[in-house]
Amino acid sequence: MFISRLLVFIMPIIGAFSGILLSSTAMAIQISDNRMLAKPGDVILVHLNELHPTQVAVGKLQIAGDLDDYAKKPEKLFSDLCKVQGAGKLEQQSRSSSPEDPSSYRCSLPAGTDKSAMNTVDIGPGGKIYLTDGHHALNSFWEASGGDTSLSVLVGENLSHDVKGSPVTQSEFEQKMAELKHFLPIDAKGNSITFAQLPSTLGLKSFQDDSWRSMLYYLRGISYDKSDNNLDPKTGKPYPEVPFLEFYWGQLLNSKMNLSQYSLSELGGYVKALKDAAKIMTALPPEQRVGDSGKSAAELGKLDKIHKKKLKKLSEPDSKLAKALAYQASHQQ
């Protein structure tokens, strides 16, 4: 009698738990299905710990500059989150706002409005999400929030299935990523790497430091710019965007400069290196191939002359470069 009453009491509880488990499973399948069906140009919400990097190195000085900004002005973090989600400017945030909860702060536009400002991802086998642009910005968010950030990203390619609709293998996916140049197959020293050597997650501890990549961040607008700022003389239209553009410029500069001759931890030495690099870049013939990009200097945004005013501004004691160097020096790991 007691046992039958006990079973009458227990069975509804088991049923309730079963319902929870089934709901969770259904939810997981639904999310996976949505991403497997995502098309180029779709906007999806992700958590940073879901993203798989497609490069092994970043310019850590660039990220130091971001972290210095976030430490001094917490609202800057939310402003940048609005920007990279294609959501315009930050309109409202408070002390209770959290990068993990996009509803805790307000941007001027809905996420995905300005897709040109968004970071891109490719969908791989099983719905895995591979970050193809934005390793610096998203690593900055990771470090500032301890990895606890959710945001909207733009789907670049869905490579989870082949043209016939059949699921691709990991090997087939990696080969396609290499063909599209959506995977950077070199490390910070220019050595070749395989897809298996990529970091498994974001976070600075997972990445090598590429000094050239940091330099190229500061040289943008001084000796080169985005690819689509230059016009193709054959078509009269802007050149298409080039993934990992700065790393290809870094390959070229590495073949022509020796950074050990510069004191890169000091503002004066760093600016001297920037000046020398800018001279090399702007002196290149527009048609010269740059690094392993397979593309010309013009296609990679080469400028015809150095923007001296912007370069001079970097040499000032309160410049973004000076602040980044100071932050990095005080936060050496």
Residue 155 C-alpha from the chain's centroid: 13
Residue 294 inside a domain? The answer is yes
13 has pLDDT over 90 = no
Digit-coded pLDDT (tens) for 28-41 = 323 334 788 899 99
Digit-coded pLDDT (tens) for 269-300 = 999 999 999 999 999 999 999 999 999 999 99
Digit-coded pLDDT (tens) for 160-216 = 999 999 999 999 999 999 999 999 999 999 899 999 999 999 999 999 999 999 999
Question: In which residue are the tokens 């090598």 written?
Answer: 208
Same-domain check for residues 143 and 278: no
Same-domain check for residues 181 and 202: yes
Residue 204 inside a domain? The answer is yes
What is the reported pTM? 0.85
Residue 102 inside a domain? The answer is yes
Q: Residue 112: CB partners within 8 Å, gap ≥ 6?
A: 43, 85, 86, 87, 118, 152, 154
Same-domain check for residues 192 and 224: no
Domain boundary among 209, 238, 263: 209
Domain boundary among 177, 209, 241: 209
Same-domain check for residues 54 and 184: yes
Structural domain that includes position 249: 211-330
Predicted confidence at residue 232, as pLDDT, reads 84
Residue 15 inside a domain? The answer is no
The arithmetic mean of pLDDT across residues 259-271, rounded, is: 97
Same-domain check for residues 136 and 61: yes
Q: What is the CATH number of the domain that holds 111?
A: 3.90.1530.10
Give the whole-angstrom CA distance, residue 330 versus residue 333.
Answer: 9
Domain boundary among 209, 236, 251: 209
**Residue 106 backbone dihedrals phi, psi, to 5 degrees:** -125, 135
Angle at 76 between CA 73 and CA 79, to 5 degrees: 155
> What is the tally of structural domains in the chain?
2
Q: Which run of H or of E encompasses 59? A: none
Same-domain check for residues 55 and 182: yes
Residue 8 inside a domain? The answer is no
Same-domain check for residues 218 and 202: no
Q: Is 168 helix (H, G, I), strand (E, B) or coil?
A: coil
Residue 267 inside a domain? The answer is yes
Angle at 81 between CA 77 and CA 83, to 5 degrees: 115
141 has pLDDT over 60 = yes
Residue 1 inside a domain? The answer is no
Question: In which residue are the tokens 């929030």 written?
Answer: 145
Same-domain check for residues 144 and 287: no
The arithmetic mean of pLDDT across residues 91-101, rounded, is: 93
Same-domain check for residues 181 and 242: no
Give the DSSP letter of residue 266.
Answer: S
Contact between residue 87 and residue 108 where contact means Cβ atoms under 8 Å apart: yes
Q: Output 21 or 112, whichever has higher pLDDT.
A: 112
Same-domain check for residues 221 and 291: yes
Task: Give the pLDDT band of residue 1 (cuts 50, 70, 90).
Answer: very low
Question: Closest by alpha carbon to 234, among 286, 285, 196?
Answer: 286
Residue 17 inside a domain? The answer is no
